Structure 1
Amino acid sequence: MLTHTHGLTPRRYVQVVTAFFLLFLLVLGIAPLIGPTSVNLMKALSSDIPFAENVDANILFVARFPRILLGALTGGALAISGAVLQALLRNDLAAPFTLGISSGASLGAVIAIALNLNFMFLGFSSVPIAAFLGALGAMLLVFSLVKTRHGDFPTGVLLLAGVTANFFFASLVMFIHYLSDFTQSFQIVRWMMGGLDITSYETVWSILPLVLIGFCGLLYIARDLNLISAGVHSAQSRGVDVKRTQKLAFVLASLTTGTVVATSGPIGFVGLIVPHMVRLVIGPDLRLLIPASFFFGASFLILCDSFGRTFIAPVEIPVGVITALLGGPFFVWLLKRQR
């Protein structure tokens, strides 16, 4: 329930979320029309031409729109995970990949590629399944290393354990990559770049429930997360179950990240760039920051992918390369700003 504390009124909440949602709808409407092949929208929506013979409709609804929806879910999930982790770890440089989730997913995918695993389960192929299991295993490993006898998750130690896990998993990925043949090596490199180029509506619908669970769960505990980010003792004095809230937030953020990374590959810096850009505009209140970051993160990744599809068409630049090129200078700016 919204209150009038800390300057957040129901009116402001609706105005801000609506503004970011309208921006997302604008990007969602424009992006399908962007590409190396022009699309006649009237022809694509025409009912006079059979869908199988309607080239414009196939380009719009089969080739582009599911890819854009996957980009929206991926960008939104990474953005809200970054916003929550930055608040919990009280570190502006925290991102969804800080806890080793990305490198764990990469290790799982690389193992599946190196072993030539080829099976389907619930509509997913072997590589995304292995990547999700790798992300889940990385999360369990990091939490088991950090958890104290009293059930605490010290944020400083958690950050250090995540960075250590990142390096360890990355070294295993390089070792397997070195032992792979040429075909496997190409698949590994391509997956590690991150991309939205291979998708379908089934993929989008299959990851949508997990992303929505993560979004709704984090939004539900946003008020408690605000209090924890201001100080653990202050939050405890106001009746917040700090251990339970921290654990739930880390698990939801990690599983949300692992879900989208398993499908799209390790797309970096979205969870670092988007929360900071949104926070500069609307402030740090997570009750407002989480939905705004979701819609802006979705719009941001859709635009990055649209640029990658058209910049040197017909060759496509993986969206992970685009976000890395943007994230490097942003990371430097953030460091200088902190200093």
Structure 2
Amino acid sequence: MAFTLVRRKAAAAQERGSLPAGPLAAVLAVALLAALTAAVAWGSTSIPPGEVWSVVWRRLSGEAPRPGTDDLIVWQLRVPRALLAALVGAGLGVVGTAVQALVRNPLADPYLLGISNGASLGAVAAIVLGLGAGGALGLGLSGAAFAGALATFALVWAVARRGGGFAPLRLVLAGVAIGQFLSGFTSYLVLQAGDEQQTHSVLFWLMGSLSGATWELLALPAVAVPAALLWLQARARGLNALLMGDETAAGLGIDVTRLRRELFTVTSVLTGVLVAASGAIAFVALMVPHVCRLVVGGDHRRLLPVSALFGALLVVVVDIVCRTAMDTQELPVGVVTSLLGAPALLYLLDRRLGSGS
């Protein structure tokens, strides 16, 4: 009887405040397409949307590009950046949703596990030690960041697994402790930067930036983000069960320990891929699942795709603001997401506390 009541209560919580996910996803997809078009068209040199799509169509159809600067600006500079913004936003939305289910905490995000700190340390070491262009280790900036993320994943995994089991609290504490240690070491490396330009590059990267987007850089996120979304979507039932508690999830036939282990692996690798591509972009992975959960409910079958679309739309729009808000310089993406995310999260928390949910 108690088991039935818990299951019904959890199901009711998942449905609370939900809107039809299909029409909402269609609206978000159209808005994302419009935002991508605007991201390519707007900038220091404005290009009409019709010309943007003409350049894209010619490239995709294999036609020879027309001479001039529009093709270079659209295809080589702005399209990769807009697509990277969408992929990073979608990935952050998905990974934030998964981590909140993993640790059963709606205030969790992937950076809580320390993975982003490891990626940041790898990238900062590459910049300060002069390995950003391929250097002695042949890693490059993104490669060094990803290597740092994987090394941190292995360390957090080893600490969290000490004594057996896979408790969410031990995982979070291990991630926070190791993440803070790596953050301190990163700060030390920043102080060792050899010149002002090097320090500026480090700080800009730590606050998130899409300015280094290239077609080559897109390859790994273009594979990792859809693959992670499909994998998580196939386990949406298990994610729903985790929110009910371990005993209830086990009663529903879920291997809780195995699912948590797989979730930690997937979210850690995806976080490393995203941070390696764009630096540390704050608040997106924390805020997007909250907003989407209020709209479509807590059922991960609906929540995951809507979070991916909304996250992609948010980061594309934020990147437009970062490129166009100031004439003399570009704003780091993480600065704008923090300025937007902190008030939005406070509003959502106040609303939840006020409603008693």
Report the aligned-residue RMSD. 2.4
Which moves more between the two structures, 74-83 or 17-26? Answer: 17-26
Report the TM-score, using the length of structure 1 for normalisation: 0.89
User: What is the letter of the counterpart of residue 199 of structure 2?
Assistant: S
Report the TM-score, using the length of structure 2 for normalisation: 0.85
Shift of 1:147: 1.2
Given the superposition, is the C-alpha separation of residues 69 and 261 from structure 1 closer, same or farther in structure 2, using an over 3 Å criterion?
A: same
| 1:286 is aligned to 2:300 | yes
User: What are the Cα deviations for residues 182-212 of structure 1, in whole angstroms up to 9, with x where unaligned?
Assistant: 1432221121121101111121123311222
SS in 2 for 1:230: coil
Shift of 1:81: 0.7
SS in 2 for 1:167: helix
Shift of 1:334: 4.7
Q: Give the gaps of 5 or more residues in structure 1.
A: none
Determine if contact 1:52/1:58 at 8 Å carries over to the other structure: no
Which of 141, 153, 160 is the matching residue for 2:173? Answer: 160
Matching residue of 2:142: 128
User: What are the Cα deviations for residues 104-123 of structure 1, in whole angstroms up to 9, with x where unaligned?
Assistant: 101111111222125549xx
Matching residue of 1:187: 201
Determine if contact 2:81/2:213 at 8 Å carries over to the other structure: yes
| 1:178 is aligned to 2:186 | no
Which of 241, 244, 250 is the matching residue for 2:264? Answer: 250
| CA distance in 2 between partners of 1:164 and 1:313 (Å) | 40
| CA distance in 2 between partners of 1:73 and 1:293 (Å) | 12
Which of 36, 42, 49 is the matching residue for 1:28? Answer: 36
Which moves more between the two structures, 182-191 or 82-91? Answer: 182-191
Determine if contact 1:269/1:323 at 8 Å carries over to the other structure: yes
Matching residue of 2:154: 140
Which moves more between the two structures, 302-311 or 202-211? Answer: 202-211
| CA distance in 2 between partners of 1:251 and 1:23 (Å) | 32
| CA distance in 2 between partners of 1:163 and 1:154 (Å) | 14
| CA distance in 2 between partners of 1:312 and 1:319 (Å) | 13
Identity over aligned pairs, percent: 36
Q: Give the gaps of 5 or more residues in structure 2.
A: 1-10
SS in 2 for 1:190: helix
User: What is the letter of the counterpart of residue 39 of structure 1?
Assistant: I
SS in 2 for 1:15: helix
SS in 2 for 1:168: helix
User: What is the letter of the counterpart of residue 34 of structure 1?
Assistant: W
Given the superposition, is the C-alpha separation of residues 112 and 14 from structure 1 closer, same or farther in structure 2, using an over 3 Å criterion?
A: same
Paired residues in the alignment total 329
| 1:275 is aligned to 2:277 | no
SS in 2 for 1:254: helix
Determine if contact 1:85/1:95 at 8 Å carries over to the other structure: yes
